[in-house]
């Protein structure tokens, strides 16, 4: 017979990057161990949220098949005495758990030897899983693992509960290294804001039971819901979403009950460079910017009005009655971040790029390689050598020399100090605003490509 196996590891909020990695590790470990244990099964499904990692194995047989194997024993001339089993044959039969009369003599390249057919009864699936589940949990790897309480258990975040079922049968498991020890049971937890427990009667009930409790455990369903909602919101504004795959994967793993909401950017902040606004939204706040359809993006533009809408999207993990409050709170946070960016931009614009060259002397490039200014001067020297050896036309040569001279100046700017992702790009924008040739500014802006 076969049934469904369920393991849920309940935790405090996990980092999104660990959820994605842990699910891949769990799937590999479970599938590999079940194969080694000779337990046939259907699909191995993994899914997770910030508060739980789940493994569901379909059609898992309830017991190992018996293992029949043939064991080679001592040579016949040593094992038989006057045609009867001697001490060597009797000892071999005892070790194999068979009657001496069941031993068979067969020829081998080294002469006739005794053989025994041994049948080892298979263990029950629940017995085997009881031994393997702690190993799966302790075998997960990730960055910045922690201990909690007075125990020695290590995990990305404290483990608070375990659900381990084979069909309707509870598999007893204890994480004894945790403090207090965590024992498996039937109780799972709802969405944190609903603050309730729920009993899982059967492994097949897991996904439906959690859905009723406000948790969308199935990661693929969350992906579909979020992607569809983002596209719908963007289409309603005649815009396109700017959501790199890495950000999208993180958003999926940050929520248990996703809701896509929209907020507004204060109009004054659209005078900031679009890359600044996008960096604040994506890297700092995990928001999704909306880009105007068919908008021409000038990489040296210092304002975002022609590129971005004043609306942004966010993926909430809250409950519907709190939507308005969540949007207002996120708008305030974004406004504060953009106000800081505006301040840094205004401070930088008060000083020309050339004035930052002396500050490069105070920044060490690498041990034994001098300062950033030394690096700039080496780059200028190499640029001149390349110009000579490649016979580059004078106008391009002049642009190349100017770009090499200025390319690292923005590393000591306020803006790059706060947003390192914008190095080079911000320097190019500043140069164009100061009246530098566009080709020079573009070379500085693009010299970190590909990003």
Mean pLDDT for 241-266 is 95
In a domain, 367, yes or no: yes
Residue 229: its pLDDT value, please? 96
Q: What percent of the chain has pLDDT over 70?
A: 100
Confidence of residue 298 (pLDDT cuts 50, 70, 90): confident
Confidence of residue 259 (pLDDT cuts 50, 70, 90): very high
Residues 155 and 33 in one domain: yes
Domain of residue 23: give its range: 2-62+124-212
pLDDT above 90: residue 319? no
On whether the CB atoms of residues 158 and 12 are closer than 8 A, the answer is: yes
Residue 209: its pLDDT value, please? 95
Whole-angstrom distance, CA of residue 378 vs CA of residue 392: 19
Confidence of residue 224 (pLDDT cuts 50, 70, 90): very high
In a domain, 15, yes or no: yes
Residues 307 and 324 in one domain: yes
pLDDT above 90: residue 293? no
In a domain, 381, yes or no: yes
Residue 124: its pLDDT value, please? 92
Mean pLDDT for 423-445 is 94
pLDDT above 90: residue 441? yes
Residue 363: its pLDDT value, please? 80
Residues 177 and 244 in one domain: no
Confidence of residue 67 (pLDDT cuts 50, 70, 90): confident
Dihedral sign for Cα 267, 272, 275, 281, please. negative
Residues 328 and 260 in one domain: yes
- Picking from 320, 349, 378, the residue at the C-terminal end of a domain is 349
Mean pLDDT for 432-448 is 93
Residues 258 and 387 in one domain: no
- 132-190 pLDDT, tens digit per residue, is 999 999 999 998 899 998 889 999 999 999 999 999 999 999 999 988 899 999 999 99
Residues 45 and 83 in one domain: no
In a domain, 26, yes or no: yes
Residue entry with tokens 């097949």: 204
Mean pLDDT for 334-363 is 92
Residue 281: its pLDDT value, please? 96
Mean pLDDT of the chain: 92
In a domain, 192, yes or no: yes
Confidence of residue 88 (pLDDT cuts 50, 70, 90): confident
CATH code of the domain in which 191 resides: 3.30.70
Q: How many domains does the chain have?
A: 4
In a domain, 451, yes or no: no
Residues 427 and 298 in one domain: no
Residue 349: its pLDDT value, please? 92
- Picking from 349, 364, 387, the residue at the C-terminal end of a domain is 349
Confidence of residue 330 (pLDDT cuts 50, 70, 90): very high
In a domain, 288, yes or no: yes
Confidence of residue 23 (pLDDT cuts 50, 70, 90): very high
Q: What percent of the chain has pLDDT over 90?
A: 69
Mean pLDDT for 354-376 is 84
- Picking from 180, 212, 244, the residue at the C-terminal end of a domain is 212
Whole-angstrom distance, CA of residue 135 vs CA of residue 332: 45
Residues 284 and 343 in one domain: yes
Whole-angstrom distance, CA of residue 339 vs CA of residue 229: 29
Residues 237 and 257 in one domain: yes
Residue 94: its pLDDT value, please? 82
Residues 57 and 130 in one domain: yes
pLDDT above 80: residue 120? no
Residues 314 and 420 in one domain: no
Mean pLDDT for 232-244 is 94
pLDDT above 90: residue 130? yes
Residue 179: its pLDDT value, please? 85
- The distance from CA 45 to its chain's CA centroid, rounded to whole angstroms, is 17
Residue 226: its pLDDT value, please? 97
In a domain, 295, yes or no: yes
**H/E/C letters for each residue in the chain?**
CEEEEEEEEEECCCCHHHHHHHHHHHHHHHHHHHHHCCCCCCCEEEEEECCEEEEEEEEEECECCCEEEEEEEEEHHHHEECCEECHHHHHHHHHHCCCHHHCEEECCCCCCEEEEEEEECCCEHHHHHHHHHHHHHHHCCCCCCECCCCCCCCECCCEEEEEEEECCEECCCEECCCCCCEEEECEEECCCCCCCEEECCCHHHHHHHHHHCCCCCCHHHHHHHHHHHHHHHHHHCCEEECCCHHHHHHHHCCCCCCEEEEEECCHHHHHCCHHHHHHHHHHHHCCEEEEECCCCCCCCCCCCCCCEEEEEEEEECCCHHHHHHHHHHHHHHHHHHHHHHHHHHHHHHCCCHHHHHHHHCCCECCCCCCEHHHHHHHHHHHHHHHHHHHCCCHHHHHHHHHHHHHCCHHHHCHHHHHCHHHCCHHHHHHHHHCCCCHHHHHHHHHCCCCC
Confidence of residue 1 (pLDDT cuts 50, 70, 90): confident
Residues 72 and 139 in one domain: no
- 185-195 pLDDT, tens digit per residue, is 999 999 988 88
- 387-418 pLDDT, tens digit per residue, is 888 888 888 999 999 999 998 999 999 999 99
């Amino acid at each position: 017979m076969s049934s469904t196996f369920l393991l849920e590891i309940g935790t405090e909020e996990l980092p999104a990057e660990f959820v994605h990695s842990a699910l891949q590790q769990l799937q590999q470990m479970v599938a590999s161990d079940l194969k080694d244990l000779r337990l046939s099964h259907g699909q191995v499904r993994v899914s997770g949220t910030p508060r739980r990692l789940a493994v569901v194995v379909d059609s898992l047989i309830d017991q190992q098949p018996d293992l029949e194997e043939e064991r080679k024993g001592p040579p016949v001339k040593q094992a038989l005495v006057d045609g009867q089993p001697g001490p060597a044959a009797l000892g071999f039969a005892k070790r194999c758990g068979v009657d001496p009369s069941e031993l068979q003599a067969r020829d081998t390249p080294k002469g006739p030897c005794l053989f025994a057919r041994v049948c080892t009864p298979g263990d029950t699936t629940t017995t085997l899983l009881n031994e393997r589940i702690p190993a799966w949990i302790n075998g997960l790897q990730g960055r910045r693992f922690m201990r909690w309480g007075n125990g020695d258990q290590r995990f990305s975040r404290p483990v608070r509960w375990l659900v381990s079922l084979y069909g309707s049968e509870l598999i007893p498991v204890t994480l004894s290294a945790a403090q207090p020890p965590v024992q498996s049971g039937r109780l799972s937890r709802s969405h944190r804001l609903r603050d309730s427990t729920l009993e899982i009667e059967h492994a097949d009930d897991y996904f439906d039971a959690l859905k009723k409790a406000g948790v969308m455990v199935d990661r693929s369903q969350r992906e579909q819901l979020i992607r569809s909602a983002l596209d719908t919101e963007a289409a309603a504004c005649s815009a396109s979403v700017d959501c790199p795959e890495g950000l999208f994967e993180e958003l999926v793993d940050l929520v248990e009950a996703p809701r896509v909401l929209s907020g507004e950017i204060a109009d004054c902040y659209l005078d900031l460079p679009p890359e600044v606004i996008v960096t604040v939204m994506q890297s700092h706040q995990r928001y999704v910017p909306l880009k105007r359809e068919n908008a021409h993006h000038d990489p040296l533009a210092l304002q975002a009005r022609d590129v971005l809408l004043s609306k942004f999207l966010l993926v909430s993990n809250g409950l519907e009655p709190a939507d308005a409050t969540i949007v207002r709170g996120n708008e305030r946070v974004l406004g504060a971040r953009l106000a800081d960016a505006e301040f840094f931009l205004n401070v930088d614009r008060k000083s020309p790029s050339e004035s930052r060259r002396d500050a490069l002397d105070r920044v060490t490039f690498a041990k034994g390689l001098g300062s950033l200014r030394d690096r700039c001067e080496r780059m200028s020297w190499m640029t001149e050598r390349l110009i000579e050896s490649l016979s580059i036309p004078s106008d391009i040569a002049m642009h190349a020399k100017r770009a090499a001279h200025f390319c690292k100046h923005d590393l000591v700017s306020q803006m790059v100090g706060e947003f390192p992702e914008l190095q080079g790009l911000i320097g190019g924008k500043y140069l164009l605003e100061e009246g530098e040739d566009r080709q020079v500014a573009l070379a500085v802006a693009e010299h970190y490509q590909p990003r």
